[in-house]
Amino acid sequence: MSTQRIKTPCVGLCSTVYGDLVCRGCKRFHHEVVNWNLYADEEKRAVWLRLEMLLVQVMESKLDVFDTVRLRTQLEQRSIRFVPEQSPYCWAYQLIARAARLINQLDAYGVALMPEFRHWELPALRDAIDREFFLLSEAHYERYIAPRFLVEGVESRV
């Protein structure tokens, strides 16, 4: 993944400074936020890949990207930041996150909501996606990262 367009997943809404273990803005773990500038490229790519996989999981359950060329064109025309190497479902997230209040017909962007979400207003859907993305990141932290810190803490005391 290229990091030329977006060098960090940061969205400027960091909650780790308030003690959150998972940032409510970018969904990175607290230690990733703190150490980001120290990470090697492969470490940064691993974080980006995890965030992409979790976001795609959420997005695929809510919508279908049926025309990636149209979606990309619309993003570029509207100067909405996105990472071209990421999944078009991440692009669709950027579209909804940045323009939910401005979009009248999502299909004009190459995106269609799943039937169970077609009655939702886009700002409400955006908020639900963000909450689910955060909860998945938090669950990933609890399952895979927190136990390692607990073990490392115990080992260092022995």
Tell me the per-residue pLDDT of 34-59, one tens digit each, with 9 for 90 and over.
999 999 999 999 999 999 999 999 99
> What proportion of the chain, given as a percentage, has pLDDT over 90?
76
The half-sphere exposure of 26 on its side-chain side, counting CA atoms within 13 A, is 22
Query: 78: which 2 tokens?
Result: 């509207």
Determine, yes or no, domain membership for 21: no
| Backbone angle region of 12, left / alpha / beta, with phi > 0 → left and psi within -120 to 50 → alpha | left
Beta bridge mates, 63 = 113
Determine, yes or no, domain membership for 44: no
Determine, yes or no, domain membership for 134: yes
Determine, yes or no, domain membership for 83: yes
Q: How many domains does the chain have?
A: 1
Determine, yes or no, domain membership for 31: no
How many Å apart are CA 134 and CA 26, to the nearest integer? 9
Determine, yes or no, domain membership for 130: yes
The parent domain of residue 89 ranges over 52-157
